[in-house]
Structures are given as C-alpha cells and as structure tokens.
Structure 1
Amino acid sequence: MPRTKEQFEEMRNATRDKIRSAAMQLFVHQGFGSTNVQDIADTAGISIGLLYRHYRTKDQLLKELVAYAVEGLKRNVLFFESDQSPKQLISHFVNEVYTDLLNGEELANLLILINQALFASAGTDSNSNQHDEILQVNARLLDATARLIRKGQQLGEFRLGDPHEMAVYFYASIQGLAEMKILLKSNFTMPSPSVLTAFLIKEME
C-alpha cells in the first residue's frame, strides 16, 4: 500500500529531527569547525545523500539550530510577561529547566550552541543578522526577568536586591549548569529547583 502524503511528511520531519539532534550534539562536543557533514550523517544513522536532500550546507544547519534556540528564548520572554504570579512563573520555569537538564542533553546543548554561535560570529560579517537577533532577544529576556523579579519583590514573594543583577545571576547559573552537565557527563548532579531559587524566593514564615 503506497504511503500517504502525511506519512511522507512524517518521515521527512523525523529525518530532519535526527539530523538536527546529531548536528547539535557534534557541534557542542567537538566544535563546529571540527565537524563535517559525514560525521553528522553517520551520527544520525543516514546516508550523506539523504542529509544533503534536507540541508545543502553545514552552515545552513547551524543557522536553523540557532534560530530554533532563539524562538525558545522569545517564548520565555512572553511567558515572563504574562499576568501570573511572579513566584509561580519562576517556579514553573525552573521546574522545566530542572526536568530538561536532569533527563537529557537537548537543553544543555542548545544553551551552549547559542553561546558558540555568538562567539563565532562576534566581530565578523558572518551571520551578523542572527548575531544581532540573539543579543536583542537575550537583552529582552533579561529585562523581562528583571521586571518580573521587581514585581515579585513588591508583592513580598522575592528577596530584596537589584532585580537586573539577580536576573543575570539566575541565567548565569543555568548556563553554568548546562556546561557542567556536558563536561561531567554521568558525574553531573542536578541541583533541585529549591536550590536554584534559594537566592530569590523567600522562605515561608
């Protein structure tokens, strides 16, 4: 029985997911420059010809991965700008980060990859639009988080302190944990959500 159009689309998407996952893993673990398309095809378990049917160049693949990460950052900005309780928003976000870092490498790889893309394109004309977009979205996320922290402080949910400094510390902690997870592998221990938010959320009195 011939496959339907929907089945072909499912297969196509599954192959693209394999390619993106393999590329992200390789770019993070051995570097973009040291990874070739044959490495990606082998890790994805497909032929190099099939890879080229989906991505013409390694640069195109990297650009798509970074764009995917940027979209995730944009969703976080919108999430933190919602009308929910600041404590609830931060707790929900931290629980998701905890689960993702505890159970897999995708989030860690994405966070590292987006930093690699920033450093690689700094001071060059290569992917300058994407470089600027990453910086702008990061700035928006920091501002949105600082505003959320300030609101939480006003409501008595969060500890006092400079909201922007606390937002920077918050994301620096998550980025550091992502890098430690990749470096330490099975020796990595993920701190609990309560540890991650101890500097911010007031204890119940």
Structure 2
Amino acid sequence: MPRTEEQNQRLKEERRRALLEAARRVFARKGLAASKMTDLAAAAGISYGLVYHYFPDKESVFAALVEEAVQQGIQLVAEARQRSGSPWEQLQWLCTRVLDGVQREPSFPLILVQAHASESVPGPVGQALERYSSQFFQQIVTLIEAGQEAGQVVRTPAAELAWMWLATIQGLALMRILPHMNHVPYPETNTLMRLFAP
C-alpha cells in the first residue's frame, strides 16, 4: 500500500532530522573544512545522493546546525529569565540545563566553537552567528547583572563572568568527546555555580 502525502512528509522530516543530528557530530569533531558530504551521509546512514535531496551543500547543513544551536541557547536563557524565583535560582536552573545538555550532547556547543574558529564559514553564516551570539551573550550578562543587583552574584564585571561561564561550558563539551577523559567526574551544578558565588 503506498504511503500517504502526510506519511511521506513525516518520513522526509525524520530523515532530515537524522541527517542534521549526525552532521552535528561530524562537524563538531572535524570542522567544516575537513568534513565532506560523504561523511555526513555515512554518519546518518543514508545514501550520498539522498543528502542532496535535503541540502545543496555541506555549508547549508552547517548553517542550519549553527542557527539551531544558537536559537536553542537563546531560548534556554530566555526561559531561565522568565522563571519565577530569584536571579540566583534562575542561574542555577540555567546551569543545570546546560550541564545536562553538554553531558548528553556535547556537539551543540562544539558546533558554535567550530563556527567561530573556522575560516571557511560562509559570510552569511558568520554574520548570523555574530548577531545571534551577541544576543545570547547579552542575555547571560543581563541575568548575571540581575543577580548582582540582588546581592546574590559576585561583583565582578558581568561580561567577564559571562565569558568565563561560556569558556567553561565549551571546555566541558570538548572534554566530553575526548575518549581518555571519560573517567573524569563530570561537574555538578553547584560546582559551576561557584563562578558566581559572592
């Protein structure tokens, strides 16, 4: 029995999602320049030709992943800021979600590191990344400043704290993909929160 149009659409979306998830891991490890469409197809378990059914080139796959990663980060910080409770509790909630996310899927922050570090990122992707990253960073700074105003966060310049926090998250993501670091205990939320403690 042939599939319905709705079933075809659902299958197409599932394959696209599987391709993006596999590509995220490939790009996080190899970067944009070293990755090939054949790598993405192999990682996703689909034929080389089928990849082109969803994306015209590897740059457009990478662009979709960068946008997704940054949008998720912006959404997460916005959700933290909308939660009830003190700024400290909002920061704690954010740190818990981010640590859990990095432990489950370290490729999300690593995609952003690759995008910032790569010289081969297409101009429009780089411009969008700068715009979104600035928005994400400013939201974290604003949350830290709210904690400082409430006397709950150390009186260090908020931008410095935000940079330190982001560097820690990126470092943890890198450590998660190194096989010889699997035995090292993963930090808990309270450990990360010490960055902000007055």
| TM-score w.r.t. length of structure 2 | 0.86
Specify the alignment match of 2:191 in structure 1: 195
Please state whether the residue corresponding to 1:117 is helix, strand or coil: helix
Structure-2 residue corresponding to 1:90: 91
User: Which residue of 2 is the match for residue 109 of structure 1?
Assistant: 107
Deviation at residue 77 of structure 1 after TM alignment: 4.9
The match for 1:131 is: 126
Compute the displacement of 1:189 (Å).
2.9
Aligned alpha-carbon RMSD (Å): 2.2
Which aligned segments of 4 or more residues in structure 1 are displaced greater than 6 angstroms?
none
Distance in 2 between the 1:42 and 1:183 partners? 21
**Please, which runs of 5 or more residues in structure 2 have no aligned partner?**
none
Aligned to 1:99: 100
Query: Percent of aligned pairs with the same residue?
Result: 26
For the 8 Å contact 1:76–1:141, the answer to whether it is kept is no
Are 2:171 and 1:176 equivalent residues in the alignment? yes
Measured against aligned partners, the alpha-carbon deviations of 1:122-171 in whole angstroms (never above 9, x if no partner) come to: xx7x6223212222322222222222222212223223322221111111
Please show how residues 1-205 of structure 1 align to structure 2 within 5 Å: 1-79=1-79, 81-82=81-82, 84=84, 85-102=86-103, 104-105=104-105, 108-121=106-119, 127-184=122-179, 186-201=182-197
- Cα gap change, 1:39 to 1:138, in 2 (>3 Å): closer
Letter in 1 for 2:125: Q
Letter in 1 for 2:78: L
Structure 1: give runs of 5+ residues left out of the alignment: none
The amino acid that maps onto 2:196 is L
Q: Which amino acid aligns with 1:39?
A: D
In structure 2, the CA distance between the partners of 1:38 and 1:12, relative to structure 1 (3 Å rule), is: same
Q: Displacement of 1:96 after TM fit?
A: 1.0
* Partner amino acid, structure 2, of 1:55: F
Structure 1 residues 78-131: Cα deviation after superposition (integer angstroms, max 9, x where no partner): 3355374312221111111122222x22xx21211122122224xx7x622321
Q: TM-score, normalised by structure 1?
A: 0.84
- How far residue 9 of structure 1 moved from its aligned partner, in angstroms, is 1.8
In the alignment, the residues of structure 2 paired with residue 35 and residue 20 of structure 1 have an alpha-carbon distance, to the nearest angstrom, of 13
